Amino acid sequence: MSTLLTHIAVSDGKIKRASLEVLSRMTQLAEANGHSSEAVIIDANASDHVDEVQKYGASKIYTIEDAIFKNHQNTPLLKALSKVMDEADPFVFGFGSTESTKDILGALAANTDAAVLSDVSEFELTDNGIEVTRPVMAAKILSDNKATGDNILVSVRSGSYDLNESPTEAEVVDIDFSFDESELKATLREIIGASGDKIDLTEAETIVAAGRGAKDDEGQELIEELASVLNAALGASRALTEAGIMDPSLQIGQTGKVVSPQLYIAVGISGAIQHVAGMANSKVIVAINKDPDAPIFDIADYGIVGDLYKVLPPFIEELKKIKS
């Protein structure tokens, strides 16, 4: 019996859904293959999250609690992760593919001499490793990869697996950890524009995303109103984040975030492959674009060919009626 370990990422006091998706998958694989599904929570208030993690089938939960984890910093996180790998000796160690994970995954692999596959959309166990599918070439193509070894790291794109509750009574193991701030060579000075209570794009059920077509004030007001009627998160194409019109953390695509909402409404977005790379897994895609040949229509379930300034006002009115 081997250990399948999942890293539970916590940000702003909330567990990232991407971590629970990975844990759900790990628990399923553990049951099918006679392994044990375990989890590790590394946070300033790690123990607060044990109950939530138990719901997804972890039979053992490691906690590492230290004030240093209040904000993401790579040095202490790496130290904690190396420590838990020593302790748990995981055959596979899974992560949700968040920015914090991307910051440390390569370094952790180098540190522990583990094989690593990042940003996968599917993974399976084999006798001596894992097999995965990863989107490559701006997500136009899927590649099959395999990794072999005793410790394998894998990060999984958000939305790749459904949440699946299978409550257990987990053994909780608190790992002793201390970090002397003088060990920090890199210093975190401040965090600007943190989203606070805004909806996390990678977890949003509904997203209204705006592109260059909606770059002026009137366009921005319309998409904000649409988002508010639908209680949706706002997203953006690179054209708007680059121009400083929308916040950089809202960028969706190859450089930006990968999202998988139930409903994605693309307004004034052409549908470049690098944008589509981040949103093609949305359940229902609506596109509003005045160019009937815009590539976004190739992947949209519902395409509205028209000027967004003329389409959005009646669309918003209709949605308000439906909502009330």
Partner 1 sequence: MKFYVCIKQVPDVDAPIQIKEGNLIQDTDRMVLNAYDASAVEEALVLTEEHGGEVEVVLVGPEKAKETIRKALAMGADKATHITTDNDVDYDSAVYAKVLATFFEDKEYDVISCGKQSQDTDAGLAGSMLAQHLDLPYATNAVGLSMEEDKLVVKRQGDAGQEIIGLPQPCLVTCSNDMNEPRIPSLKGIMQSKRKPMETIALSDMNLDEAALSAKTKVTGYMEKPEREPGQKFEGEPDELAQKVATLLDEEENVI
What's the sign of the alpha-carbon dihedral 9, 13, 16, 21?
A: positive
In contact, 5 and 93? CB cutoff 8 Å? yes
Q: For residue 279, which of 258, 295, 262, 296 has the smallest C-alpha distance?
A: 258
Q: Which of residues 152-191 bind partner 1 (CB under 8 A)?
A: 185-191
Query: Which does residue 299 bind out of partner 1, ligand FAD, none, counting CB within 5 to 8 angstroms by kind?
Result: partner 1
Smallest Cα–Cα separation from 63: which of 52, 75, 49? 49
Residue 303 lies near ligand FAD (rule: CB under 6 A): no
Per-residue binding letters, 115-154, with partner 1 (x by CB under 8 A): xxxxx-----------x-xxxxxxxxxxxxxxxxx-----
| Smaller CB separation from ligand FAD, 137 or 194 | 137
The answer to whether 25 touches 114, Cβ cutoff 8 Å, is no
Closest C-alpha to 161, from 192, 122, 113, 197: 122
Return the one option of partner 1, ligand FAD, none that residue 239 interacts with (CB less than 5 to 8 A, by type): ligand FAD
Tell me, residue by residue from 186 to 225, as one string, x for binding to ligand FAD by CB under 6 A and - for no binding: -------------------------xxx------------
C-beta of 172 vs 305, nearer to partner 1: 305
Q: Which residues inside 121-150 make contact with ligand FAD, applying CB under 6 A?
A: 136-137, 143
CB of 94 within 8 A of CB of 30? no
* 258, 158 contact by CB (below 8 A): yes
- Kindly give the interhelix angle for 99-112 and 74-88, rounded to the nearest 10 degrees: 50
Q: Identify whether the C-beta of residue 258 lies closer than 8 Å to the C-beta of residue 97.
A: yes
Distance, CA of 135 to CA of 175 (rounded, Å): 36
The answer to whether residue 233 forms part of the interface with ligand FAD (CB under 6 A) is: no
Does position 284 interact with ligand FAD (CB under 6 A)? The reply is no
* Residue 289 touching ligand FAD (CB under 6 A): yes
CB 86 within 8 A of CB 62: no
Q: Which of 176, 178, 322, 324 binds partner 1 (CB under 8 A)?
A: 322
Query: H/E element holding 289?
Result: strand 284-289
Contact call for residue 213 and partner 1 (CB under 8 A): no
Q: What is the smallest separation between the CB atom of 42 and ligand FAD, expressed in angstroms? A: 24
The two structure tokens encoding residue 228: 């508010």
Q: Does residue 268 bind ligand FAD (CB under 6 A)?
A: yes
CB of 100 to ligand FAD, least distance (A): 17
Binding site residues, ligand FAD, CB under 6 A: 136-137, 143, 211-213, 237-239, 251-256, 268-270, 272, 274-275, 278, 288-291, 294, 307-309
